[in-house]
Structure 1
């Protein structure tokens, strides 16, 4: 098969590099609050409950904006939507750097979360305008690695900046980085053109649409949402409380805690890629998707939960607890990779993209609640390692509950047949 005559490789890969940079900035913005938690809460006199509320507020409008801007991206050029995002991220760093109260910081984080929520789906939509279908996997995977690199750099560099110039300087630097990216994107960013033939082909093969109420109440779809919610719950804790756990709970210095966090981030990539590869191998050998995807997600989530439990029950030295926590955080991330594939398998072709956006919006609520719950636990039980580990136990319970529900009710083949039956009836 030859590439589309409209495919412009040089421009397409330039856009990929630019959007990978945007993903890197996106995760630097997300993680910075967790990495400056100790000096920030001390200076602003925030209790654990207050900090947990502020940290979780990033995701309060994250879901809503993801869906709204996702629909807008079908009507407006992604070039300008992405530029607006980059500029808003840069501007919103400044009031965070000057914040003097929990309320001011909370308002900034809510606004920043709303601005950053649509970044990944709009970036993917933008790339799809540059790459034909058979060439899309690699550029999207590269964008995901940009997010991982952003978290890794954050763990290594933010503690150093904090030690040298104070925690506020991190927000000023992030504002400068965001502004620089925006200027480059304004000069280099362009809109792809590989859409007209794809749209025509889609119109010829479009299947009848189902009411979304019918789709989102399907047991399999609800099970995927539950797995995604628990995965985002663990991500929310990783972004906000794990650096503080390393520093206050395990006794590491700020710089050492940042390096330990980098270990946690670095562990997630090979675990996620390896398990995704295993799932693909199982499918290639003839396994159905319930075995190759559902069982693998559930087993990974339960294994992560057991590691969280072991973290609390076993008396281990700090370095071993870091390794245990790294694996516990990494295993549930398989849901981020396989959940969209499960949803795409079950729903009508014409509604797959929107349902994946709905899944992201609902699942990310887990990241909104988790930091606040951990803050409540720390406020009630103190700031020692036991209190943090009790908060991780909540993650363990949720992971096990969602996995058991999925093992009971998540049957992709059965749901696909059921939904297709309703789709056929709707067309009749």
Structure 2
């Protein structure tokens, strides 16, 4: 019986490039972009509704930070597990199950749960969303050769940004006019709608039954069942450098989702509407940075520039520029310059998320890709466990100055991440070592 799953598998032979294959590849990519939009709309709810939730549930800044960190309690573990499963089972069913579980996890808070329910629902939501990014990237990249992966990889990360850009104004309006619980109901409905669309359109066949990826496009090692172990992959300087850089980016993502709305409102005095607009601006800047990075990296790779420069150096430089923005922002008062520094500091660094993924995808064979990406995601997302709780502690103990200290700490981490990306990432070198 022919396989009707859109997920490409590793076979021998040339890469299928028929018009039908290309249509299916971009159909999958488009659906996965929306998948990531819903994923991050889910994550943004607590940050956008921070003040009314804290008021209604009687939470301190530390308590609110811990409630957000609960989301990441199982997030990293499940991200690694989901990535490993994606190397063994059809990611189509993993993605469908995740989307449905997201929606179920939102319902208790939409119906009136308290603090215990909030924490429990965030833990379940985190477990369901942990594998989302690595599994989605693994699924999309199976349809494209290495030299063409920058755009689909960037588009999935743009979906993250668009999820917040589009959700921030709409969810803020719902929170103000219908209460914060209505926002949970809205994102639950969005998850159900996506699951229905994926069930209908997330299947099909290429012209030869499957997309085919050659060993050259499968990363380091052989394309069959043998190849480098995960232990060897995780010990490469490239995997380590990409993971450190991405960890720092995820630290900024966690702050943007959880604390930046409160920082803008309570720390800098912006209205809730203006703060939501600035949050959307951060994610819009991130989307532009992601697409610009994809264009620059793809251009460099097509001209024979090594990934050490096209990916490692480009990603590292974006982190270092963001570090300068955050360092200056920590000392700035409210004003037009603050807005520019905010967009540079929190928006530009998002480009590293795609660079890290495409770098690891280049390094490892296809049959190890899901696991390598999942394990990277597991390490990276521990930033989401630490950043909200630590920032809440700083705000409780230092008042408004706590926000400044949190931004300054972010600048330091970005310097470390940028330095790691520039000095450690070299996929060609490490692929040769994996093959030796």
> Does residue 150 of the first structure (1) align with residue 159 of the second (2)?
no
Q: Larger deviation: 110-119 or 349-358?
A: 349-358
Partner of 1:320: 337
For structure 1, which segment, 148-157 or 16-25, has the greater mean C-alpha deviation from structure 2 after superposition? 16-25
RMSD after superposition = 3.1
- CA drift of 1:47 comes to 0.9
- Greater share of residues in helix: 1
Number of the residue aligned with 1:376 = 393
In structure 1, C-alpha distance between the alignment counterparts of 2:22 and 2:241, rounded to whole Å? 39
Corresponding residue of 2:233: 215
CA shift, 1:368, in A, is 2.0
- 2-structure distance, mates of 1:209, 1:8: 28
Q: Cα–Cα, structure 1 residues 142 and 318, in superposed 2: closer, same or farther, change >3 Å?
A: same
Match of 2:432 among 413, 417, 420: 417
CA distance in 1, matches of 2:223, 2:392: 50
Q: Distance in 1 between matches of 2:33 and 2:307?
A: 30
| Contact kept in structure 1, 2:249 and 2:352, CA below 8 Å | yes
2:247 to 229, 254, 263: 229
Cα shift readout 1:137-187 (whole Å, capped 9, x = no counterpart): 655554443332211112211111111111111111222222233344444
Q: Deviations over 1:241-275 (max 9, x none)?
A: 11111111111221121111111111112223223
Out of 255, 259, 264, the position equivalent to 1:241 is 259
Counterpart residue number, 1:269: 287
Q: Which shifted more, 304-313 or 399-408?
A: 399-408
Larger RCO, structures 1/2 (Cα 8 Å, 6+ apart): 2
Flag the 1:156–1:182 CA change in 2: closer, same or farther, 3 A.
same
1:3-402 matches, within 5 Å, as 4=17, 7=20, 14-98=27-111, 100-127=113-140, 131=143, 133=145, 141-192=154-205, 196=210, 198=212, 205-206=223-224, 208-314=226-332, 316-347=333-364, 350-382=367-399, 384=400, 386-402=401-417
- Give, in whole Å, the separation in 1 of the partners of 2:26 and 2:366: 28
Q: Return closer, same or farther for 1:204/1:26 CA change in 2, 3 Å cut-off.
A: closer
Deviations 1:331-378 (CA, angstroms, capped at 9, x unpaired): 222221212333344445653442122212211211221111111111
Q: Aligned pair count?
A: 417
CA distance in 1, matches of 2:433, 2:331: 44
Identify if the C-alpha distance between structure 1 residues 211 and 50 changes in structure 2 by more than 3 Å, giving closer, same or farther: same
TM norm structure 1: 0.86
Identify unmatched segments of 5+ residues in structure 1: 422-428
User: Using the alignment, how far apart are the partners of 2:211 and 2:41 within structure 1?
Assistant: 37
Q: Which range is displaced more, 393-402 or 39-48? A: 393-402
Which structure 2 residue ranges, 5 or more long, are not aligned?
1-13
Which whole-Å CA distance do the structure 1 matches of 2:243 and 2:22 have between them?
36
How far residue 94 of structure 1 moved from its aligned partner, in angstroms, is 1.3
Over residues 311-338 of structure 1, what are the superposed CA-to-partner deviations in whole Å (9 max), with x where a residue is unaligned?
A: 1223x43443122111111222222121
